[in-house]
Amino acid sequence: MRRFLSTWPSAAALFAFWVLLSGKLDAAHLTAGVVSAAVIAVAASRLWALPPTIGSEDLRPFRGLHWGPALAYPFWLAWEVLLSSVAVARLVLHPRMPIAPELVRIRPRLPHLLARLTLANSITLTPGTVTLDVSGSEFLVHALTPASAGSLKTGSIQRRIAGLFQARDDGPEPEARP
CB-CB contact of 65 with 55 (8 Å): yes
Domains of the chain with CATH codes: 2-63 (no CATH), 65-177 (3.30.70)
- Alpha-helical regions (H) of 105-168: 113-125, 146-154, 156-164
Closest CA to 79 of 127, 114, 116: 127
Closest CA to 149 of 119, 167, 124, 129: 129
Is the pTM for the entire model greater than 0.85? no
Q: Can you give the pLDDT at residue 6?
A: 66
pLDDT tens, N- to C-terminus, the chain (178 residues): 555 566 777 788 889 988 988 888 899 999 999 999 988 888 887 776 666 555 544 445 455 667 788 889 999 999 999 999 999 999 989 888 888 999 999 998 887 788 888 999 999 999 999 999 998 889 999 999 888 888 888 888 888 888 887 654 444 554 545 4
